[in-house]
Amino acid sequence: MNITTILTIMAPALIALIAYGIVRFFPPSIDNAFILKAPQWWSRDQQTWDKAYVFLAKKYILYTIILFVFCGAMFFVNWGYAMSLGYILLVFLLLLAQLQVRRYMQDTVK
């Protein structure tokens, strides 16, 4: 296999790793925002929002590991649509993480 094939197969896992890095290392901030600027209402319960972002980062890293395992297994599958399943799984897992954080926030913030 050449590097192009490897990158194509592993692309969904690498995208998830980038998403994890952004969420983990560049969270929204009220004061100095490098990537994301938090809205003013965020400051009402800053601690809860920070916990939610940590929770989201944990979900992203868990799902990134799952994607790396899945995409690694796709090396051994000789099916034309096997690589597309990685992208479908990526979208599903990112949406699942967002849903889980939304439920966490609904249970935490009253």
pLDDT (0 to 100) of residue 62: 96
Q: What is the length of the chain? A: 110
Distance CA 108, CA 91 (A): 26
Going from the C-alpha of 76 to that of each of 1, 88, 89, the distances in angstroms are 11, 18, 18
pLDDT for 34 beyond 70: no
pLDDT (0 to 100) of residue 41: 64
Q: Write down the domain spans for the chain.
A: 3-108
pLDDT (0 to 100) of residue 15: 95
Average pLDDT over residues 64-89: 88
The pTM assigned to this predicted structure is: 0.83
pLDDT (0 to 100) of residue 32: 62
- Output the six-digit token pair for 64: 């990134």
Average pLDDT over residues 58-80: 90
Compute the mean pLDDT over every residue in the chain, rounded to the nearest whole number: 84
Cβ 106 vs Cβ 52: under 8 Å: no
- Percent of residues, the chain, with pLDDT higher than 90: 42
Average pLDDT over residues 13-28: 89
Higher pLDDT, 107 or 36: 107
**C-alpha neighbours within 13 Å on the C-beta side of residue 109:** 16
Which of 71, 63, 65, 69 is closest to 5 using CA atoms?
A: 71
